[in-house]
Amino acid sequence: METIVQSQSSRTKQQLFKKIALIGALVLVLIVTSVIIWGYLQMKKPLPVIEGTIHLSGLQETVTVWRDENGVPHIEALNENDLYFAQGYVTAQDRLFQMDLGRRQASGMLSEVIGEATVENDKFFRTFGLRRAAEATIDHLSADAMKALTAYADGVNAFISEAKEAGTLPLEFRFMGYEPNPWSVIDSITLGKYMAYDLGGNWESQMFRHYLLQNFSEEEALELFPTYPAGGPHVLDLLKAHTLDFSKSFGYADSPHLENGSNNWVISGEKTVTGKPLLADDPHLGLATPSIWYETHLKSPEVNVTGVIFAGIPGIIVGHNEHIAWGVTNVGPDVQQLYIEKRNPDHPYEFEYMGNWEKAEIIKEELKIKGEESIEFDVVITRHGPIISEFAHDDQPDSALSLRWTAHDPTPELDAVIRFNKATNWEEFEDALRYFHAPAQNFVFASTDGTIAYRANGLIPIRKTNEALLPVPGWTDEHEWQGYIPWEELPTIINPDGGFIATANNKIVDDNYPYHIAHSWAQPFRQQRIVDVLSSKEVMSTDDMKALQFDQRNLQAEELLPLLLPTLKSHSMLRYIDQEAIRLLEEWNFKDDPNLVAPLIHHLWIASISDVLFEERIDPDLFKHFRERRSVVDELIRLAANGEDSLWIENQGGYQEVVFEAFQRAVNRGIEVQGPRMEKWSWGDFHQVKLKHPLGAIAPLHILFNPTPQPVGGSAITVMAAAWNVNSGEVNHGAGWRGVMDLSDLSESYHVVVPGQSGHVTSRWYDNQIEDWVNGKYHSTNINPKTYHKTSKKLELHPAE
């Protein structure tokens, strides 16, 4: 009996334990579920309100914001103040963290929220002086531009205040543990100055050529110049006498991307199916999450314009209204000049000019650093501009480099943008261009009256020597700028006989043009392909425009492989896998198709030729400043294939050995990244667009913020621009926006913004356009209220009572 009782007691305890375990498990599941739900709701909490009514101080009348199915805001206001106020508010709803990080980057204020890791970057941008240039611009803007900037900032600040009070700031602010400061007019202008910086870079080329002259023979240095400098040995000897440690000075410099540029073209109605012009534009800048571009439609009694703008700036910089359309590419002129300054050995802030010592302007900078003591340093500004050669170190050499740059001057680009948005014909648009100074851009234009036009517009310096290859002496007036190319003499084309105009950062003038514009231009392959296609058809449609923007024909391979393969095939040390690679290249259709093997072999081969020639000889900290290296390598291949000598090639064993070693490196690299079976390789498995978020560099936040990588075709030298990192294959640069406009019906246009409109990771518009971008597809944006009202969410912004 006792045994039976004990058995029953044991079963009772077991049953009790099971119940307790079950209850515990249920409680744990409930807790985990609650945490997941809470976390999900917290992530959703910052999503913008896009329906209903919001009351805001600063509005004069009610504004209606319609969000269409692609997340594009259509802002309808009854006056311009409210239009730009609402634009600032709505853009901040979607992109506030991006805007804040952008102004910090351009202003040299990242360390305040990131810490010591960005100190050198901040010192560089404080020295470079984008924010100082923005402050100098204020007094040179029109009343209309200032009203737009002020209203826009008020709208941004209305959102910041609202989000702080409601606890709905974007997730990134919570992860980084700070809140944004109020937005200012200066912030918007500074972002504009940053774009001018990002589309510049000829100062780096000047510095790099000086480095070449200091470290290599004159013959070797000149081989890597785009042209021989006028004045010859005298200039070279002078520069060699003034040595500077460039690796120490510029190792930290945040360089504009080598492939910054764009495609644009416009076709007259004589060559289109509708009888009206077609215009296409796809600017090439860094690819990231969120996109650098923000698509918007602005409508008021004064304006009805749509297109894209940089988040943080009012208006529309590229797009169309009801009468005209326009697009841009970078001219890339020599608008920067490094000056070698002679320092007074007794007074380090004095510099020689025309036999006298001039005292430089000194700006005391305090750099705040998260979790650390602030750093104080001096920015030294000579008559030519800031000393940029020593922001990263403390020694005081007898020589220093200062920088003169057009965008350091006050430049009223926002006045141009506002006028673009309202222009109704070429004459009005051309007049607006008078206000667009920096960066100099190739504008293509079309209007409903049938006019097509082109203009290279911006401030381009006139130099006494007509040269901008190298740093020049700053202690005489021999190399001072002589003003700018007269506005009336800038390159302009109106209604050409050929029926189209196209630019792709190519050389835009012939040798008869009386002024110097640039020494370096983009490789010619994109431009040549565009011209070939536009010339090949008598009549074209919007579908043809889209297809051309997505064109992956590789003209570099078409030109260079016939020069490279014969040399390679005669080599005695080819392996079986090398021979298979040769066969694939010979059978290739020259398209950078993501599904093919040949593009991978070709691009790795061309990149390896550069490595073989330069990697052991050029300082790796300075190699990134060799901005013309791709064009230089192309030209060295052409010359060597034609039997002309090259010291750089001979130094590596001659043309055949350079070609062979680079080829085997490329094949070995292919094996490394895609395995030993070449039939399993593909360009797209290596060449993938990885749209990284700023916080995606921090594990495990990359899982949350970074969209899934996608295989993509094209390359840096195809019309479908997709520049890639040579080490990882990551596509990090290209057309973040593509647009096509048909002047027969400007109520509708075609766009794609990658990865999407929203900066909020939980938004359906965060990365919904990636597949369209990868596959060459578009969405249409309609500016006819009868159309977009039917499919859009409606938000009313009312003045606060």
pLDDT, one tens digit per residue, over 324-379 is 999 999 999 999 999 999 999 999 999 999 999 999 999 999 999 999 999 999 99
Q: Residue 681 — φ and ψ, nearest 5°?
A: -75, 160
- Taken in order 433, 435, 436, 438, the sign of the CA dihedral is positive
- Taken in order 745, 314, 326, 101, the sign of the CA dihedral is negative
pLDDT at 793: 97
C-alpha 509: how far from its chain's center? 25
Judge whether 415 lies within some domain: no
Mean per-residue pLDDT of the chain: 92
Tens-digit pLDDT profile for residues 58-83: 999 999 999 999 999 999 999 999 99
C-alpha 646: how far from its chain's center? 34
Q: What counts of helices (H) and strands (E) characterise the chain?
A: 27, 30
Distance CA 209, CA 225 (A): 7
Percent above pLDDT 70 for the chain:
91
Exposure on the CB side of residue 107, measured as CA atoms within 13 A: 23
**Residue 454 near residue 443, CB atoms below 8 Å:** yes
Show the CA angle centred on residue 336, arms to residues 127 and 365, nearest 5°.
Answer: 10
Which of 755, 748, 750 has the alpha carbon at shortest distance from 734?
A: 755
Judge whether 639 lies within some domain: yes
Distance CA 461, CA 408 (A): 13
Distance CA 683, CA 276 (A): 39
- For the cut 50, the answer to whether the pLDDT of residue 229 exceeds it is no
Percent above pLDDT 90 for the chain:
84
73 forms bridges with which residues in the sheet? 67
Region of 646 please: left (phi>0), alpha (psi -120 to 50) or beta: beta
The amino acid present at 88, given as its one-letter code, is: G
Which of 239, 266, 258, 383 has the alpha carbon at shortest distance from 325?
A: 266
- For the cut 50, the answer to whether the pLDDT of residue 544 exceeds it is yes
**Residue 705 near residue 636, CB atoms below 8 Å:** no
Tens-digit pLDDT profile for residues 17-58: 777 767 766 666 666 555 455 455 567 788 999 999 999 999
Token pair listed for 616 = 């052991």
- For the cut 50, the answer to whether the pLDDT of residue 228 exceeds it is no
**Residue 641 near residue 563, CB atoms below 8 Å:** yes
Per residue, what are the HEC states of 4-72? Answer: HHHHHHHHHHHHHHHHHHHHHHHHHHHHHHHHHHHHHHHHHCCCCCCCEEEEECCCCCCEEEEECCCCC
Token pair listed for 205 = 């080329």
pLDDT at 45: 83
Residue 201 banded pLDDT, cuts 50, 70, 90 = confident
Token pair listed for 185 = 């007019």
pLDDT at 226: 86
Tens-digit pLDDT profile for residues 550-581: 999 999 999 999 999 999 987 888 899 999 99
Judge whether 740 lies within some domain: no
Distances (CA, A) of 363 to 120, 381, 383, 399, 412: 17, 8, 14, 20, 24
The amino acid present at 464, given as its one-letter code, is: K
Return the beta strands (E) in 714-778 as ranges: 722-724, 730-735, 737-742, 748-753
- For the cut 60, the answer to whether the pLDDT of residue 215 exceeds it is yes
Please give the average per-residue pLDDT across 177-194, as a whole number. 98
The amino acid present at 98, given as its one-letter code, is: Q
- Domain count of the fold of the chain: 2
Distance CA 763, CA 441 (A): 34
**Residue 224 near residue 632, CB atoms below 8 Å:** yes
Rounded to the nearest 10 degrees, the angle between the axes of helix 598-614 and helix 629-641 is 90
- For the cut 50, the answer to whether the pLDDT of residue 317 exceeds it is yes
Distance CA 183, CA 196 (A): 21
Judge whether 170 lies within some domain: no
Tens-digit pLDDT profile for residues 510-530: 989 999 999 999 999 999 999
Distance CA 557, CA 585 (A): 9
- For the cut 70, the answer to whether the pLDDT of residue 246 exceeds it is no
- For the cut 70, the answer to whether the pLDDT of residue 3 exceeds it is no
- For the beta carbon of residue 531, count every other beta carbon within 10 angstroms: 17
Judge whether 612 lies within some domain: yes
Which of 299, 295, 445 has the alpha carbon at shortest distance from 750?
A: 295
pLDDT at 7: 61
Q: Which of 641, 658, 681 is the last residue of a domain?
A: 681
C-alpha 617: how far from its chain's center? 30
| DSSP tag of 180 | P
Task: Supply the range of the domain harboring residue 38.
Answer: 1-44
325 forms bridges with which residues in the sheet? 320, 446
Rg (the chain; Cα; Å): 29
Judge whether 258 lies within some domain: no
pLDDT at 249: 60
pTM recorded for the entire structure: 0.93
Show the CA angle centred on residue 27, arms to residues 23 and 28, nearest 5°.
Answer: 115
- Taken in order 456, 460, 464, 467, the sign of the CA dihedral is negative
Tens-digit pLDDT profile for residues 425-483: 999 999 999 999 999 999 999 999 999 999 999 999 999 876 789 999 999 999 999 99
Q: Which of 681, 696, 729 is the last residue of a domain?
A: 681
Judge whether 68 lies within some domain: no
- For the cut 50, the answer to whether the pLDDT of residue 234 exceeds it is no
Judge whether 6 lies within some domain: yes
Please give the average per-residue pLDDT across 634-648, as a whole number. 94
pLDDT at 235: 45
- Taken in order 89, 94, 95, 97, the sign of the CA dihedral is positive
- For the cut 90, the answer to whether the pLDDT of residue 169 exceeds it is yes
Which of 476, 406, 478 has the alpha carbon at shortest distance from 437?
A: 406
Token pair listed for 194 = 């940053």
Q: Which of 681, 702, 735 is the last residue of a domain?
A: 681
